């Protein structure tokens, strides 16, 4: 949902094996009607699952993480960015393969709440970009031992920024919050 207008909604539809209806859709009338956004995006039958996020601080900026179809390997198809509310998109990156064959199962795209050029795209591991999605650095490594500071369990399904400490983020499989005021994590899976 657009942070300044509840009339503007975005929806990502991504069948893992690819279908013509795969894509990003936008509504400007609170979901009564929907338009598929296509300018600069690949044809729906050529990709699998996708995730989108809208920048809270710059609502015209959106990102999409798109995976390959399962039959093509379910890796990264591309990171796409729009700076005009979805009217047109540009491909920012096709590497590294942050979805690592699991894009059909787990992928996350999350824009920093105050910096529209900082975007995470997580799948098997967490990857962070500080330049609008053009380059992503690997921030977590699931195959490291749990004592390593870069270890985070694989299969990222969700990510959120701490609402109190906006610079701290969590990428989790399952989380139980013990304190909703501080978003303190009590457990993780």
Q: How do residues 33-79 score in pLDDT, each as one tens digit?
A: 999 999 999 999 999 999 999 999 999 999 999 999 999 999 999 99
Q: Please, what is the end-to-end C-alpha distance for the chain in angstroms?
A: 28
Q: 79 and 135 in contact (C-beta within 8 Å)? A: no
Confidence of residue 183 (pLDDT cuts 50, 70, 90): very low
Higher pLDDT among residues 21 and 98, named by residue: 21
pLDDT at 78: 95
pLDDT greater than 50 at residue 187? no
Give the percent of the chain with pLDDT over 90: 52
pLDDT greater than 70 at residue 180? no
How far is the C-alpha of 60 from the C-alpha of 7, rounded, in Å?
A: 14
pLDDT greater than 50 at residue 21? yes
Higher pLDDT among residues 100 and 81, named by residue: 81
Global confidence as pTM: 0.83
SS3 content of the chain, % helix, strand, coil (to 5): 5, 35, 60
Confidence of residue 88 (pLDDT cuts 50, 70, 90): very high
pLDDT at 176: 35
30-60-172-74 Cα dihedral, nearest 10 degrees: 90
């Amino acid at each position: 949902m657009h942070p300044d207008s509840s009339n503007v909604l975005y929806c990502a539809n991504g069948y893992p094996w690819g279908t013509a209806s795969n894509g990003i859709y936008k509504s400007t009338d609170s979901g009564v009607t929907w338009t598929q956004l296509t300018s600069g995006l690949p044809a729906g039958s050529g990709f699998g699952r996708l995730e989108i996020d809208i920048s809270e601080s710059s609502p015209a900026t959106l990102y999409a993480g798109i995976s390959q179809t399962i039959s093509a390997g379910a890796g990264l198809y591309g990171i796409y960015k729009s700076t005009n509310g979805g009217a047109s998109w540009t491909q920012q990156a096709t590497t590294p393969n942050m979805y690592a064959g699991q894009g059909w199962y787990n992928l996350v795209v999350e824009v920093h709440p105050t910096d529209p050029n900082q975007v995470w795209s997580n799948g098997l591991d967490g990857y962070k970009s500080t330049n609008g999605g053009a380059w992503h650095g690997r921030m977590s490594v699931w195959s490291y031992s749990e004592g390593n500071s870069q270890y985070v369990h694989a299969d990222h399904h969700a990510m959120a920024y701490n609402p109190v400490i906006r610079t701290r983020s969590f990428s989790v499989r399952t989380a139980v919050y013990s304190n909703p005021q501080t978003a303190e994590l009590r457990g993780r899976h």
